[in-house]
Structure 1
Amino acid sequence: MMLADFLYSKVQMSQGDVSFLMRLWDALQRRFLTEQFGDDFNLDSDESSAPFTGHLDLLSTIDSIPHGDIPWQGFTVQYDGELPENPPAWMTAKYEVWFRDPLEVMEAQLGNPEFANHIDYAAKKVKGAEDGKRQYVDLMSGDWAWERSTQLGKDKELHGAMFVPVVLGSDKTTVSVATGQTEYYPIYASAGNVQNHLRRAHKGAVTLIGFLAIPKTGKDEEDSLEFRRFRRQLYHSSIARILMLLKPWMTKARVTKCGDGHWRRVVYEIGPYIADYPEQCLLACVVQGWCARCIAEAKNLDGSPDTVIGRSHIHTEKVRKACGGNLKEMWDAYGIIGDVIPFTTYFPRANIHELMSPDILHQLVKGTFKDHLVTWVVEYLEGQENGKALVAEMDRRIAAAPHFPGLRRFNEGRGFKQWTGNDSKALMKVFLPAITGLVPPSMVRAVAAFLDFCYLVRRSQIDEDVLTKLDSAVERYHAEREIFIEEGIRDNFNLPRQHSLVHYRPLIQMFGAPNGLCSSITESKHIAAVKDAYRRSSRNQPLGEMLLINQRMDRLRTARDILQPHIPLELRDPRDNCRTLQTTRAPLPATENLDFNDDDNSEDIVHAVGTITSQGDVRLPSGPARGYPIGVQALGAHLGVDLRAYIRRFLYDQKFPNADRMGMDVDLADCPTIDPNLHVKIFHSAVALYHAPSEVSGIGGMKREIIRATPSWQRGPARHDCVYVEQDADGEGFEGLGVAQVQFFLSFKYGSGKDAVEYQCAFVRWFERYDDSPCDQTGLWRVHPDMRGGRRVCSIIHIDTILRSAHLIPVFGDPSVSGRVPVGFHHSMSLRVLQTFLCQ
């Protein structure tokens, strides 16, 4: 089964290659047996010694797996209105919708043993251990789940039942532009009890449950009222039909086996719906340009007091009655599409306007930041004297940002066409320093306030203090963005994506941290469920093949989950890591595969790490770099530093950790002595494992990145990453940290015999704070090189004091004075020749 999973799921080998591999396997096995046992060994010529006879045998084996099989069903939909004399083709066409039973999907997720410890079996209120303040984490920690559970508990038939909200998500996706805009409309479902980290972790907690139909017609018909009405109603009717299999269990409890082995009475309900803004308008039957959640006027979105009044089915019916059923008046005056029935009207306690989740990816990252703020800043620069030169200067600044683990590089600035969500997130990290000095301070502060908001809402745990900071960030952003109107870039800010910022606080209180209900989750599912499946098909009416591919992938995933505990450690895929680190800063177990190759040519990839939970850890690779002298005296001469003296001062700090003066400040004669032939190993990198509250991370909230300190990376210039160093345990935030640039990592043993202690260290060059407070425009701390007597301050530190990588981005200033980046400037020089940096 492991081989079948490897061939079909992991490497996705073609059918022809699978058959060839099996023939090759059989031939080599026969030759080996003949050489070992001679001609006396007989193997039937019709009997294969390979695991499979060919690709058909492989597929048959996968199809025989008795687990994870939720069959596909289908139904057709057709226009049922009155037909004109010569009806267009779309009126007579039949549209196929394929789906899987959502009840079976939910029960499979609830019953998955791998999810047992990552499911909330009841609504919860989480409070901080130290301050007792309310924390919003997963969906079941929000007020909505608590209130719904309380409401259901008043029903004697449902009292004590497990409340399971069904999280839904849909998004039309294009798989082939070149061959005629081949599109599919997948819809996904996830049990709301699954905790956010698991929903984001590609562990099967989000399941493809259907493909909606996409009606099409000619250009002459696509804007007709009849076609648009049919397209919208087809969408809602199809979703309602798929979910009808769950409806009986929304008013009656169903006994269900859960992953922890217990049987529980379960009652279902339509939960939050993950969608981007156009999809939200389609779901809410609201005209684009209006808010799909509240009744604020489209011409005054953020200035209207109606932002606190939510839309609902009741409100729609009252408007319909007040307008006398006049659809045009409902459209123009209230932004309501009155001739379509939302699917939630068919289900108890469901209100689609309330259930639409916040969408970090499309509302904030791609919408407000990429499509709005970046565009507006470029328009402002282009409108200035020498505008093109200013835009080119901004792009060179973006390109001059030093390397950082996992961060996309913009070698030519932001001037390229194919943008992804990760590209936009990477630009967010380098854009603010790049525009400082090029645009008015208010414009910089507007971008800074918005970025503050973005990084706060991306946290996995949001408490009451963070909610207060969110209010402050929105208030600052709304005040500072007026500069775009003053400069003639905008006439108003009636933009639904920007308007969504005012709804984030109540939505967090309702549904928990937004990163567990973001459209990035469903978009990532598109890759395996739709795009990869399409690529593997014959592409001739491929939907049937795509359904079968998804079904086989589900079988293999379920079998892998069941067999995982029985697979030897050496045969497990490190990506399927399910172990947990219990202690803080304790040595990682030998079974934890956090090792890596110290390869200066490897890709710079940041990984989310399994279910490991700890405060953090930094490790050196298993093998040292080659080509260095062994003895400390010769090694120091090779590196051009008095390494022996630095090690002695480091040992002083280790021996006297509470001394009034540090080792770099005492007389060398007072430091421990070492053998001039002390064996010192050099390393070009280290791996850091740390908690990342605002970043994509593993099930335990942990992230793994490689810190580089190499004389040549990827056969190019040297790369020496910067790090945050823990200095003051009582300091808050940046005030307790130091910033340093790693020149190289080293290890050595000090002492004799059994008393010898191995020290794993880093040789660093220090930065010091530029000021006692952050920059008043960007809100970021600034640092500059720490100099003494005209020389950089250097020292050796223990790697246990390293917290994580630090991204230092140059401060350029006014280009008309001295802040211009030379044409052809290489980013590898930034940390060497520039003097002031912003810390991220």
Structure 2
Amino acid sequence: MQWQYNGTTTKSEAQLQRLIDEVITDKRFRKKDLIGCKVKTEKKRLDQYSNNGGPFDTADGWREGSVTLHLPKARVKHPSESDAPSYTITGIWMRNFMEVIKAGYKDPVAAKFHHFPFHLFRSRSTPEDPDALPERLWSEVYNADAVLREHEELQAQPRQPEDTPDVEYVVAPLLVYSDATRLANFGTASLWPIYNFFAGLTKYLRLKPSMFAAHHLAYIPSLPDGLFKAYKATYGERPSAAVVRVLKRDLMQKIWLLLVDDDFMKAYKHGVLVTCGDGIIRRLFPRIISYSADYPEKCLVAGIKFLGNCACPVCLIPKKDFINMGTKNDMKKRAKIPREDSGFLASRIAMVRSWIFKNGAAAEGDRIKGTLLHKTSTTTTQSAFSIRFAEFGKNVYDMFVPDLLHEFELGVWKATFTHLIRLLIAVGGNAVHDLDERYAVIRTFGKDAIRRFSGNVSAMKKLAARDFEDLLIPACQCSIPAFEGLMPEPYNGIVLTMLFELCQWHAYAKLRLHSEGTLSKFEAATSSLGIAMRAFKRSVCAKWATKELPSETQSRQRRAAKVAAETGKDHNTTSVKQKIFNLITYKYHRLADYVAAIREFGTMDNQTTQPGEVEHRRIKIIWPRTNKNRKAHRQIAADVQRADVLNKISARNGGSRKIRTSRDIKKRKVSGSRKRMQLRFDVSQPLPQTSPRAHFHISEDQRTWVKLNEFAAENADDPACEDFVYKLKVHILGRLPGGAAYDILPEPPLADVATVHLRGDRIYMHKVMRINWTSYDMRRSQDSVNPRTHPDIMMLAPEGSDHPFLYARALGVFHVHAYRAGPGLSPTDSEPMQIIWVRWFDLDRRAPGGFKARRLHRLKWARGDDAFGFLSPDCVLRATHLIPAFAHGKTDEALPGYSIARQEDEEDEDWIYHYVSMFVDRDMFMRYVGDAVGHQRTSYRRPEAEDGDSEGGEGDDGTQEDEDEDEDEDEDEDEDEEEDGEGSDRYADGEAADASGEDEDAGALPDLGPEDGEDSITADELLFESTGYGTL
């Protein structure tokens, strides 16, 4: 303990526990091995060992590189660019790209690589339609078109004459990511890394932080102060902003030329023989499939102007037409005028560069504005990828994939949410305060699908991308109930429709498995989103004059003060500016490219920058270990290399992670009798890891119990407990041997009910129930149902119902030992039986929900004798997330007075309605869309096919209104910030819909995390030992 509290404050309780469990108490630990050990010496030994041909040889190690930049100046002529003054930038820490690739394919993990891409199909044939054609699916990079095309081209090439016929020729698909990140909350310390991921490894492994699948390629330096001094010493003044932009672009492209060097290009053409991790010799042909980055970096790498007239890196649609995203004309233009690399374009770039250096033309002067470069918003720096790959007919711009994180979650959604806050302020009253209160009431869901919101969501203080996603999850998940009724009609309806469309689009974009069917629906959802967004802008935003939020004013004032300090000019920034809702942005425009990108590169989790953002955390953990000076980049590189070597050693030795079981946790003695059928927060009743083959898991612990008749007597005045004993015994009777005979009776005879007994008259209460289910993408997953914190569940509706599911709130989870005894009955042993006590919901049919209505399904509390009941856990499909319909208020009509059916922190009233969170995770969304690959078919009457038109919306022409000039100015500011059943029908067949969809892997499912009273999980564990970076 003293070690933990000495020195650095970053030694957490969890790290102390891991030191004890994984080091000190490990059987391999020997104290004598540490006698005379010096950490600094051992680090040197590790570095020498890894570079001297050991089993973990790192020929792919770090080295320092340099590039030379030539310095231009307007009206200063030079014989050629090479004759212009130059400055050499050193300290570029990088690794040999080909050595990284070879090391990755030699790693034992490479035995899991898919070396041959393939088309993925699902069979559509059924007994009713045996001739149905199979349907194509998209999931991984290696079953998408880009890799399939590269593979076909490779197999058509002639083989190397020295290769034997058994040498496989395979594409090594590479996914590249780069982005600058801050290393500390204070100061200017930053790092600009380039990462590489191997697309041959399934994303279900590649995206786990614990797999360390991100290979660091290089750390890009900023333009050093020495360059500015050298420029001033040469020309007598500091470089202009235009020259600085040219130098930044040159620096990036020259670093990429160092990475994509002669060795890489030789392997690109002829391949390289590598003995892979499975022991098979293959000839690898590296191919950079995609480049993921935020918008400013896309511009930098692609060689296009930031927010130029043609601002998109993949097409030449003018910025003024971005508002028409998703219309038929817009989609035709994308196909008609793509951005293409060509020899002619390269010659124009070379010509303009000669003007700059030989003729002294200004880097962004009038002479250049009359060229092709200006018309297409192309910069004067040719992309390194164009230089290297143009001869092979590759279009450099095709690799710049959409980025869901920055373009939608931090782009379109953030801008929309921000403007909704501005509108609520303009509407007046307590709308913003009410919004904050509503968000604070929303329950959490899953391991981290929905987290607890702060009490001041509208302020958006220090919200990261994940926090904005939580506000969306997707848009309707939390936003529709939160915003409902805060604006007057008809504006309220328009806003709710837009939020639903945002929700639907985001849900399709987040799917990890797409089919032809879902992609077609995604295309329609994109068109519908465009219509809804334009209708919102035209009908709602034009109604109120909106101004900056206080935080926006402060941010603008800080930027202006910084500019004033640099230029010496005073800027008046005290007034609050008017802000309009801007749809002329690159991020909004790019939403229509997602379907095509999925077909080309696989689903968006392969393309998003989120894995890179997660890898940034690893660097930020290393940063405090450095001396934080100019050598910090080298020290980070060394630490990354050591960690890679140690991870390989740990993997070879089988690791040392200790799995926690229920025996490791101290058990607490609990008194027997309680009034509520829920366990307190401080009662520990942990569950061990669960077999994926079991549909549900409830503890067998019998320390916490209540007498059935005593419980019923204590709560006799509670409407929720009316006929509690009778209803419970009727339920048990139907599940005991021979109980099926009672299914045809409206009610079993009282004499038969009286034969049901509980051993000891005891009900054994439990804190949590876990439900295992098969997700839409054929993965086994798990929900946790806790009557105190996460009580809502869903079941399949009876066949023929017009809504697929039934909904209930779990009031208690327990098990009993039941048997029958009485005249004419043979003595039998008691049967253990798990039961859920529930309060039922009914579907509110006065408020249509679903994709056609563009509203969430609304539920109301069931009334009458069927309001409460009992359920077998086998009937539970999975947990669900219900959000109160805040706009409709509360009542006690369904359950008058105090009742234990309500949560302890609730008053003696219920929310009148609840909304079903159809979009709480990907799997839930697909249960309502239907026809998911991993789901058994849900039998119910679906509504007729739904079109993509929004009532009251505009047509597909997407006519633009007269706000373009103001919006362009607004965009420059916004984008620039990025830089710096009812009744007895409820009792379904009792079949677990997903129980038969078992994973062939018999391994245990990952623990969902702590329940009430269990040990907490630390941030480090969530980061490095989680099953992935995203939620279902």
TM-score, with structure 1 as normaliser: 0.79
Which residue does the alignment assign to 2:451? 408
Which residue does the alignment assign to 2:244? 227
Identify the match of residue 113 of structure 1 among 90, 101, 108.
108
Q: Does 1:236 align with 2:253?
A: yes
User: Is the CA contact (8 Å cut-off) linking 1:444 and 1:777 kept in structure 2?
Assistant: no
Between the two proteins, the alignment pairs up a number of residues equal to: 750
Q: Does 1:418 align with 2:462?
A: yes
Cα distance in 2, alignment partners of residues 726 and 596 from structure 1: 37
Residue identity opposite 2:538 in structure 1: I
Quote the RMSD (CA, aligned, Å). Answer: 4.3
Q: Does 1:620 align with 2:698?
A: yes
Cα distance in 1, alignment partners of residues 174 and 182 from structure 2: 26
Identify the match of residue 168 of structure 1 among 157, 169, 176.
176
Q: Does 1:445 align with 2:513?
A: no
Which residue does the alignment assign to 1:744? 812
Identify the match of residue 517 of structure 1 among 600, 607, 610.
607
Q: Equivalences for 1:271-310 in 2 at 5 Å?
A: 271-289=289-307, 290-303=311-324, 304=330, 305-308=332-335, 309-310=337-338
Residue identity opposite 2:914 in structure 1: F
Pairwise CA distance, 1:358:
2.2
Residue identity opposite 2:158 in structure 1: K
Q: Equivalences for 1:88-127 in 2 at 5 Å?
A: 92=87, 94-117=89-112, 119-127=113-121
Which residue does the alignment assign to 2:538? 485
Partner of 1:97: helix, strand, or coil? strand
Identify the match of residue 782 of structure 1 among 848, 855, 858.
858
Which residue does the alignment assign to 2:194? 187
Distance 1:679 1:256, change over 3 A: farther
Cα-to-partner distance string for 1:564-620 (whole Å, 9 max, x where unaligned):
2xx6xxx54459xxxxxxxxxxxxxx99999999983699x999x99x977x83322
| Greater gyration radius | 2
Distance 1:408 1:25, change over 3 A: closer
Cα distance in 2, alignment partners of residues 593 and 263 from structure 1: 46
Identify the match of residue 534 of structure 1 among 605, 623, 626.
623
Partner of 1:294: helix, strand, or coil? coil
Pairwise CA distance, 1:291:
0.9
Partner of 2:527: helix, strand, or coil? helix
Q: Equivalences for 1:302-381 in 2 at 5 Å?
A: 302-303=323-324, 304=330, 305-308=332-335, 309-314=337-342, 317=345, 320=348, 327-329=368-370, 330=372, 332-347=374-389, 348-370=392-414, 372-381=415-424
Distance 1:394 1:491, change over 3 A: closer
Pairwise CA distance, 1:795:
2.0
Distance 1:425 1:332, change over 3 A: same
User: Is the CA contact (8 Å cut-off) linking 1:168 and 1:273 kept in structure 2?
Assistant: yes
Partner of 2:342: helix, strand, or coil? helix
Residue identity opposite 1:726 in structure 2: L
Which residue does the alignment assign to 1:466? 518
Distance 1:253 1:340, change over 3 A: closer
Which residue does the alignment assign to 2:832? 758
Q: Does 1:395 align with 2:412?
A: no
Pairwise CA distance, 1:12:
7.3
Which residue does the alignment assign to 1:654? 735
Distance 1:543 1:443, change over 3 A: same
Distance 1:481 1:13, change over 3 A: closer
Which residue does the alignment assign to 1:724? 794
Partner of 1:508: helix, strand, or coil? helix
Partner of 2:758: helix, strand, or coil? coil
Q: Does 1:673 align with 2:756?
A: yes
Partner of 1:749: helix, strand, or coil? strand
Distance 1:657 1:62, change over 3 A: farther
Which residue does the alignment assign to 1:686? 769
> Greater shift after overlay, 758-767 or 775-784?
775-784
Partner of 2:183: helix, strand, or coil? strand
Q: Does 1:562 align with 2:629?
A: no
Which residue does the alignment assign to 1:505? 595
Distance 1:739 1:76, change over 3 A: same
Partner of 1:236: helix, strand, or coil? helix
Residue identity opposite 1:539 in structure 2: K
Residue identity opposite 2:316 in structure 1: I
Distance 1:400 1:316, change over 3 A: farther
Distance 1:238 1:145, change over 3 A: same
Q: Does 1:383 align with 2:410?
A: no
Pairwise CA distance, 1:708:
1.8
User: Is the CA contact (8 Å cut-off) linking 1:68 and 1:558 kept in structure 2?
Assistant: no
User: Is the CA contact (8 Å cut-off) linking 2:885 and 2:913 kept in structure 1?
Assistant: yes
Partner of 2:614: helix, strand, or coil? helix
Which residue does the alignment assign to 2:1020? none
> Greater shift after overlay, 398-407 or 277-286?
398-407
Cα-to-partner distance string for 1:399-448 (whole Å, 9 max, x where unaligned):
22133233222231412411122211211131121112224212211121
Residue identity opposite 1:129 in structure 2: S
Pairwise CA distance, 1:624:
5.6
Q: Does 1:796 align with 2:870?
A: yes
Pairwise CA distance, 1:184:
0.5
Pairwise CA distance, 1:556:
1.8
Distance 1:139 1:659, change over 3 A: farther
Identify the match of residue 767 of structure 1 among 841, 844, 855.
841
Residue identity opposite 2:916 in structure 1: C
Pairwise CA distance, 1:560:
2.3
Residue identity opposite 2:416 in structure 1: L
Cα distance in 2, alignment partners of residues 301 and 837 from structure 1: 38
Which residue does the alignment assign to 2:287? 269
Which residue does the alignment assign to 1:252? 270
Distance 1:181 1:635, change over 3 A: same
Pairwise CA distance, 1:668:
4.9
Cα distance in 1, alignment partners of residues 455 and 247 from structure 2: 46
Q: Equivalences for 1:685-724 in 2 at 5 Å?
A: 685-692=768-775, 701-710=779-788, 719=789, 721-724=791-794
Residue identity opposite 2:403 in structure 1: D
Pairwise CA distance, 1:213:
1.4
Residue identity opposite 1:335 in structure 2: S
User: Is the CA contact (8 Å cut-off) linking 2:742 and 2:748 kept in structure 1?
Assistant: no
TM-score, with structure 2 as normaliser: 0.65
User: Is the CA contact (8 Å cut-off) linking 1:682 and 1:746 kept in structure 2?
Assistant: yes
Cα distance in 1, alignment partners of residues 831 and 743 from structure 2: 23
Q: Which runs of 5+ in 2 are unaligned?
A: 1-9, 77-84, 126-133, 161-166, 230-236, 325-329, 354-366, 543-579, 669-678, 821-826, 893-902, 918-1032
> Greater shift after overlay, 495-504 or 240-249?
240-249
Pairwise CA distance, 1:831:
11
Cα distance in 2, alignment partners of residues 593 and 352 from structure 1: 56
Partner of 1:425: helix, strand, or coil? helix
Pairwise CA distance, 1:83:
8.3
Cα distance in 2, alignment partners of residues 334 and 777 from structure 1: 42
User: Is the CA contact (8 Å cut-off) linking 1:255 and 1:263 kept in structure 2?
Assistant: yes
> Greater shift after overlay, 105-114 or 800-809?
105-114
Pairwise CA distance, 1:380:
2.2
Cα-to-partner distance string for 1:348-387 (whole Å, 9 max, x where unaligned):
45433101122111112111112x2102212222222xx2
Which residue does the alignment assign to 1:6? none
